[in-house]
Each structure stands twice: as C-alpha cells, then as structure tokens.
Chains A and B, each alone.
Chain A
Amino acid sequence: MIEARHLTKVFDLPPARARRALDTGTDRGRAVREAGGVLAVDDVSFSVQQGELFVVMGLSGSGKSTVIRMINRLVAPTAGNVVYDGTDVGGMTRQQLRELRNKRVGMVFQHFALFPHRTVRENAAYGLKARGMPRRERLQRADRALEQVGLGQRGDAYPDEFSGGMKQRVGLARALTTDPDVLIMDEPFSALDPLTRRSMQEQLLELQRDFRKTIIFVTHDLNEAMRIGDRIMVMRDGRIVQLGTGPEIISRPADGYVHDFVSDVDRTRVLTASTVMQPPWVTATLDEDPASVLARMEESRGRGVYVTDPGGEIAGVVTPALLSEAIAEHRADLGDCVGDDYTAVPDDTPLVEFCHLAGGHTVPLAVVDRNKHLVGVVPRARVLDAIASAPKDVNEHA
C-alpha cells in the first residue's frame, strides 16, 4: 500500500528558502512565485490500495508527473512524505531506495524512453541488469516479458524499428521484467493513436486482472481515466480538486473545473446503474397482507411494487389488479399473487447497456447488488436526466 502524506514540491528554489515561502500560510503559491520558485505540487495526500488501478488526472502542468515521481523519489519532496508498505521512502538509505526502484516499482514513460542503442530484449532486461543478474538469465526473463506483451519474437530488433504502440509494449515489458508490485505509468498511452490506445488500455486491464499489480496511471484524458480507473484523483495547479470513482466524479463534479472536464465524456459508458438509481418508493415483502400493500401503493400513486422474499431477493412485482384479486380471494399474504413483469440489472451495468430497458414495464427497472438484493430502481426519467446533464447546482459554480 502506498500512502502519500501532504506531498509538496517547489522547483527552482533551494529547499530552505522554499520551506520559508511555504510557511507564510496565506497564499503559498504566490509566496513561492514571488520568491522565484514554482509550486508544482501543493499539499497532496492520498493512499493507493494493493491491486488498485489509481488514476491521476489533470491538465498539462497540474503536477501529475511530479506527484508520481515523489513515490519512488525520482523527485524529492520539499515537504510531506510517502509511506510504502509502512516504510517512509524519504528515510530509506541509498541501498534501500535502489531496491525499491529495482524490485517494487516499475515505471512506464510517456515517450517510451527506450534506450536506442540497445536491442529490444536488452531494453526489457535493463532492470535485471541493474540488479546484476547474469546475462543469460536476464535475457531469458526479458523474452518472457516480451511474450506477455505480444512481442515474443522481436527481441533482436532495435527500438527505432518499432511503431509507437510496439515501443510502449517494450516500455511495459521493461517495467514487468523486474516483477514489481507497483507500476507507475506517466501518460503511457498519450502519444499513441486512438485505436492503439484503446487496445493498450484493454491489455493493461487484462494484465491487472491476471497479476493484481497496483497501478498508478497518469492521464489527461478523462475517457481513458473513466474506462480503466478504479478511483480517479483530479488535480489542478498542484492540488487535488476531487478524488473518487469515475461515476462519483461524473455525477457529482466537485467544481466547475471538474465539470468542464466531465462535460465531454461519454456519460452513458461511465454512469452505472448504481449511480443513477434511486431508492424504491414502496416495497413489500412476501408475508404481507395484500390489503395493506394496496393501501400503501395507492397512497404513493404507484402502479406496481417490488416484492422481496425473506432473504432480500426480488420475488416479483404486484400491481393493483393482482392485489385486488388476492383480496377477493381472501389471501393472507402475497405468496401466490406476484407477477414477473419486470427487469433487474446488476448495479455495475453501464447506462449504455440498460437505458433501452427503462420504461418497458409498469414498474421501474430494478437494480440488484452482487447478492441479488434489491438496492434501488431506475425510473425512465432518471435515465434521461443522467444522459442529459450534470446536476444543476454544479453549473452555478462554473
């Protein structure tokens, strides 16, 4: 697990003067600027869980690269620290830091940063070479990593013979040969064309599913962030403006900056059933008396009600017609009168996959969690709202 605490970085000032400027309290950015420095990262705290794909997003110059480089101390923080699996990275000896970089953390770069004078295989083997592993063994392992990224037979080529997508596969292989727990990827797909980018994203997701690496992924592309990120940290001018899951950010942007970012994303692919659903107005359980259910339904002017069994799963729906019938037959509970005129979707279904189902029945669409429990409903109007716009109160901030 990686924990960043109050990370702050000032460039172009000696550390002592930088700290003095930071201590002024009121407007740190301005104080640093007036002292002649750049406040690249300003008091950023977050933690990344084992196996998480954590995305850092923001416009160019917002401090993304600087933040992630403080994790393996390629950039030394001016203030704050990073704790890696309980150890303070700032307190590590040279040897420990080398080991962290060599064995725990792999890195992938925006412009690939391959060594042009080495073959692809030697590029992939670089981390192991730095470790001092014998040549034969490291080249074998490099070949295995190249195979993982689909370049198994191309180890003898030189990087300049490759297209961008292939180069970045080599970059990925170089990061994977050392078998790190954490991958830090600084805009790895930004230099690729959209189709290649898409397939690389898919490959990365597959890789993460198979190997459960912790991945810290920088991008300035929200669609990319939404597609792959478990959580997204949005940065602006060196600060965090919002940290949350993709759907959270889309449905509740923290401010106008995030809202502008969010406005051109394909919402139907990001919003899931759980983010657009609402609590059901009325529900009933199987053992209830039909008359009281009918009374409740009439009060809320609904045309149908979901009925759950004792375990919380959906047993079916009842409508006024079905209930009247049951009352006429003097039934004591709903056991035999539930109908099945409804559709249920899992709560992580993207909007694009269920929006055509909303409004197809007398009851709204049901949303169920992993245990098949009813957790909410999506009336047709909610679908339209979600596709159409962000919440109104956000526009006022913009």
Chain B
Amino acid sequence: MPRIPVGTAIESALQWLVDHVGGFFDALSAVLLFAVNAVYTALATPMPFVLIAVFGLLAAVTVRSISLTVFTVLAFLLVVGMQLWTQTLETLAVVIIAAVISITIGVPIGILAANSPRVSVCVRPVLDFMQTLPVFVYLVPAVFFFGIGVVPGIVATTVFAIPPAVRLTELGIRQVDAEIVEAARAFGPRPGQVLREVQLPLALPSIMTGVNQVIMLALSMVVVAGLVGAAGLGGVVVNGVTQFNIGVAFEGGIAVVILAIFLDRVTSALGGSRGSGRRARAALDMLLRRRPREETDQVPVRTAA
C-alpha cells in the first residue's frame, strides 16, 4: 500500500493558514496576551495575604466548611513560603482566561446541541477528536500560529477544555424534566424565555459540573503548556524535570495540587451538588432576567391624578 501523506497535507494546510490569515492570529494573540496580563495584574496588585484572605472567604462562603477554609489559608501560605506565589498567580490567570473562553464557546454549542439532534450528531465526533488527540499534538500547531510563550498555552488549553463544557451543558438541558419544559411551552412564552427561565436554571448543576471540569482540565493542561514557554507553575515543573531538580519539580507540583483542590471545591460547591442548588439557580435566574424589563417592573404604575 502506498503511503498516504496525511501529515504533509496537514502541514501545508497549516502553512496556508499562516500565510493567508496570519494577521488574524497575530491579533488574536495580542488580545489574549492583553487579557491574561490584565487578569494577572488584577490578582497581583493586592498583597498576597489580602488575596489569601479573599480565597479563604470564598471557600467559607461557597463550601461552608471550616476545614476547607483553614486548608485554603494554610496551603496558600505554604505557596508563598515556597516563593511560588507569582507563578501560581500566572497560572491562575491563564486558567481563568482559558476557562472563560471555553465556557463562552462551549455552553452555547451545548445549548444548540441539546435542541437539535443534527447539531448534536455533528458536534460529537469533533469533541471526541479534541479530547483524545494527545495534548502535545496541539501544542506544536499552536506554537506554529502564535509563537513561543503564554498564548499557545492558552489556545491549546482552551481547545482541550471546551468538550466538557459542551457535553455537560447538552446533558444538563436534555435531563430537564420534559413535562416541565412542556408546561412552560404550554403557556405561550416569548421566544427564548423557556431556555432562559426554565432550561438553563434547571440544567445549572450539570453546567456547573462542566465548568468544574473545564477548570480542572485547564489546570492540568497549563502544566503541559510550560513546555512551550508559558510561564507560571508549568514553567517551574518543566525546569525542575529537565534539570533533574526533583525538589523544584515537587514544589511546583504541590502548588498545582493546592490550586487544583481549591478551585475544584469552590466550583463544585457553586454547582449546588451540596444542597444549595436552589440558591444558585435563583442567582442565575436573576442574572438571566432581562434587565430593562425587570427594572421597569419594580416601579409601581402611577395613574395620572
């Protein structure tokens, strides 16, 4: 059998993209870099102890667990003690940006897929491809388009983290009791009202599980992104490994684990898996309400005297 030049074809396709829409990638790169820097600056501006207090408070409010609050505070103090605070914040900034992008792309696709079997069928193999292709394979084209640094890390991370956002949004919406959705439709709602007021709030626990997974995947990917020159904890770990410096590698690894535990507990508590589901849904409900209408709603109707 003759060799089928799949690799060559992909290479020339990528080359074509770089040659013809390179400007687009440059602009995207600039935007991403700006966003990450902005988030990083926002995180790094307060004193570490202030931010650690905020993290502790966040853990206390969302998870309502004293032990997790104590753990959060002590663990992040340890990070400061290991002099990895800056790198941890860099990593956190990348995770936040990648998660936000993955969610803003993934959730709408999940909604479309939930409402259209055709979209669902088309999307599924793409997601499988995105999730199972070895992560290093994305990194190379990402570098190809965006050069060495933090941006290819974000892009590769985003691609890797989109599938759970899509999947769990679709699943969540499909799992909403069909009779409830029908009841909503039976009263002749305005277009989009059923989605906003019934399907999304009721799918929220599942969507939040998706958000949680997105964040965890993003975090795991960020370390890999250290290979292509992304700074942060990934860089620390990669340096430690390549220089056979076991101590440094472990320190970086421990900081990653601390960040992971904190983000996991907080985001899974937001999903309402522990009781406060209704509160979270009510909060989302509030966010999704149409602002102008609700504000006029508050004003009592005055009749001309």
Complex contacts, A97 vs chain B, CB 8 Å: 188
Could you tell me if B202 and A101 are in contact, using CB atoms closer than 8 angstroms?
A: no
- Could you tell me the distance in whole angstroms from the C-beta of A140 to the nearest C-beta in chain B? 12
- Listed residue (A99, A126, A132, A136) with the most chain B CB atoms within 10 angstroms of its CB: A126
Whether A111 touches B188, Cβ cut-off 8 Å, given contacts A117-B201, A134-B301, A136-B300, is no
Q: Give residues of chain B (154-207) contacting chain A, Cβ–Cβ below 8 Å.
A: 177, 179-180, 182-190, 193, 197-198, 201-202
**Chain A contact surface mostly:** mixed
Could you tell me if A101 and B186 are in contact, using CB atoms closer than 8 angstroms?
A: yes
Whether A102 touches B188, Cβ cut-off 8 Å, given contacts A115-B198, A116-B278, is yes
Q: Which of A98, A116, A117 contacts B188 (CB 8 A)?
A: A98
Could you tell me if A135 and B187 are in contact, using CB atoms closer than 8 angstroms?
A: no
Q: Which of A107, A116, A132 contacts B186 (CB 8 A)?
A: A107
Interface string of A66-110 (1 = CB under 8 A from B): 000000101000000000000000000000011111110111011
Q: Please count how many residues in chain A sit with their CB below 8 Å of the partner chain's CB atoms.
A: 33
Complex contacts, B285 vs chain A, CB 8 Å: 117-118
Q: Which of A72, A126, A136 contacts B184 (CB 8 A)?
A: A126
Could you tell me if B182 and A113 are in contact, using CB atoms closer than 8 angstroms?
A: yes
Tell me if B28 counts as interface (CB < 8 A to partner A).
no
Tell me if A127 counts as interface (CB < 8 A to partner B).
yes
Tell me if B296 counts as interface (CB < 8 A to partner A).
yes
- Could you tell me the distance in whole angstroms from the C-beta of B285 to the nearest C-beta in chain A? 6
Tell me if A130 counts as interface (CB < 8 A to partner B).
yes
Could you tell me if B180 and A113 are in contact, using CB atoms closer than 8 angstroms?
A: yes
Interface string of B282-305 (1 = CB under 8 A from A): 100100000001101110110000
Q: Which of A102, A113, A126, A134 contacts B179 (CB 8 A)?
A: A113
Whether A101 touches B281, Cβ cut-off 8 Å, given contacts A117-B202, A134-B296, is no
Complex contacts, A117 vs chain B, CB 8 Å: 201-202, 278, 281-282, 285
Tell me if A275 counts as interface (CB < 8 A to partner B).
no
Cα(A302)–Cα(B58), bound, Å: 95
Binding site for A on B (CB under 8 A): 177, 179-180, 182-190, 193, 197-198, 201-202, 278, 281-282, 285, 293-294, 296-298, 300-301
Give the 5 A-B residue pairs with the shortest CB-CB distance, closest first.
A102-B188, A101-B188, A113-B183, A98-B188, A135-B297
